[in-house]
Structure 1
Amino acid sequence: MSTSALPPRLAPYDWTLYFVTDTAQCASVGRTVAETVAEAVAGGAGIVQVRDKDASDAEVEALTREVLTAVERGAAERASARVPVFVDDRLDVVRRLREEGLDVHIHVGQTDEPIAEVRRVLGPEPLVGLSARTPEQFAAAAALHDEDTGAGLVDLLGIGPAYDTTTKAGAPAGFGPDGIAALASAAVQMGLPAVGIGGITAERAPELASAPLLGICVVSAICRAEDPRAAAAAIRAAYLGAAPG
């Protein structure tokens, strides 16, 4: 999906490389999440999502504050446009941060807070992403609209796993490039832009380049990288079919 075709709410951002954090994976190679985020953004990540299923709300809130600072540092070094920060699942955390005027957004799964409740608490301004993996789930998301304005309640979908992944316990088998392309096409036909996630590496990224995705989400290939800046640059370049740099 070209930038010109993006919905106005998504158009200001670069969705090509969407980095999702994993605290344990970053720690396993001797880095904090914030250190990894700063390097990933400097290397080309245009979106960051804070995800830590094992942390308390207070810990996720503190981590998100660190990530917001790290994003600014990485974006300034790359002289890039605004890099939005999503928080996975924690509705109360996002509410508190937004009440302070911080620009954070939310991503939820099928078993997290219902989208209608998310919008009731946060209002129309923040971006809302939703994990989904079937056309039925896409249709249910596309049917959610604000009763007063008619605006859709979901801004984008995260679909996957693209490939087999060990990042999430109990994750189903990967759909593969053709499966992700078919799902992304179905989502777009319902008016919902999508990003692909799950097991994506620099070697696999070109296989997804022809799918009608906003971009690709990466976890392990950046969190566990010896050099997350170089890893982000390489994945982004591979996906775009360009030389890193």
Structure 2
Amino acid sequence: MPNPIDFNLYLITDRRQIPGGDLISAVRAALRGGVRAVQLREKDLTARELLPAARELRELTRAFGAKLLINDRIDVALAVAADGVHLGGHSFPVAEARALLGPHRLIGLSTHHREEISLAARDGADFVTFGPVWFTPSKAAYGAPVGLAALRDACVAAPLPIFPLGGVTVARLAELVAVRCPRAACIGAILAAPSPEDRAREFVRLLSPPRS
């Protein structure tokens, strides 16, 4: 049975989108604004380079009562006692990740098609991101946007929580709620904002309470 998901806003990091590049300060501000789940996703860094940031974010998220997940790197997640990992479609298999992480750590999986969501649930993932819903440069490599109709169909039938990703902004949150998917995952909408704290607070205010 999947672990309960007690957050509805999922912040994914990309220090290249942060004015000035100060990842820790930007995430701290977002946590002050109400973010309660952070994925450390700096794919250009080696494990040795990633580890100091992971340690800092582990302490920071713990202080705010927030979850920390590490993108792909199960070794780094275990080293810093993170709450879980987020896997891509071509990274470590979910079932094998679960065997290494145990039953209580979270496993998120990136999906782009409805069929992948069912497979993620079968293999033991706790939640998925789904998209890109709208066009965004950071997700252009994953193909054309899936659109709201595909998101609606996925959310209605999904066996586990879905976090829409790709082009998600405060202005579009009402559209997500309207298709019965009151969650969101984002990068630049918060981290590139003049005030990540204020922008995160807007997201939290407009999204519905989390559902497991």
Distance 1:134 1:171, change over 3 A: closer
Instruction: Report the CA distance shift for 1:47/1:211 in structure 2 as closer, same or farther (over 3 A).
Output: farther
Counterparts of 1:8 and 1:214, CA distance in 2: 19
Question: In structure 2, what residue type is equivalent to 1:10?
Answer: P
From 66, 69, 73, the equivalent of 1:83 is 66
Please name the residue that 2:13 is paired with: 21
Is residue 2:4 matched to residue 1:10? yes
Which consecutive unaligned segments of at least 5 residues does structure 1 have? 1-6, 76-81, 145-152
Look up the match of 1:164. 135
| Percent sequence identity over aligned pairs | 30
- In the other structure, the counterpart of 1:179 is 150
2:118 to 139, 142, 145: 139
User: 1:158 deviation in Å?
Assistant: 1.0
Task: Specify which of 33, 37, 61 is matched with residue 43 of structure 1.
Answer: 33
In 2, the alpha carbon distance for the partners of 1:38 and 1:138 equals 31
Q: If the length of structure 1 is used for normalisation, what is the TM-score?
A: 0.78
RMSD: 2.0
Contact 1:196-1:215 within 8 A present in 2 as well? yes
Letter in 2 for 1:225: A
C-alpha displacement of 1:92 = 1.5
Shift of 1:240: 4.2
Q: Deviations over 1:187-206 (max 9, x none)?
A: 2xxx2221111111111111
* Structure-to-structure mapping, 1:192-231, within 5 angstroms: 192-213=160-181, 215-231=183-199
Partners of 2:101 and 2:169 in 1: how far apart? Answer: 34
Distance 1:224 1:204, change over 3 A: same
Give the CA deviation at 1:237.
Answer: 2.4
What are the Cα deviations for residues 9-66 of structure 1, in whole angstroms up to 9, with x where unaligned? 325x2x221111102112xx11411111111011121211100110111122211111
In structure 1, distance between residues paired with 2:67 and 2:163: 15
Counterpart Cα distance in 1 of 2:180 and 2:50:
32
* From 52, 59, 70, the counterpart of 2:49: 59
Q: Which one scores higher on RCO, CA 8 angstroms, separation ≥ 6? A: 2
Whole-Å separation in 2 of the counterparts to 1:238 and 1:138: 26
User: How many residues end up aligned between the 2 structures?
Assistant: 209
Distance 2:51 2:134 in 1: 30
Aligned to 1:148: none
Q: Does 1:124 align with 2:118?
A: no
Which has the higher Rg, Structure 1 or Structure 2?
Answer: 1
Residues 43, 228 of structure 1: 8 Å contact kept: yes
For residues 91-110 of structure 1, the aligned pairs below 5 Å read: 91-97=74-80, 102-110=81-89
Contact residue 182 and residue 207 of structure 2 kept, 8 A: no
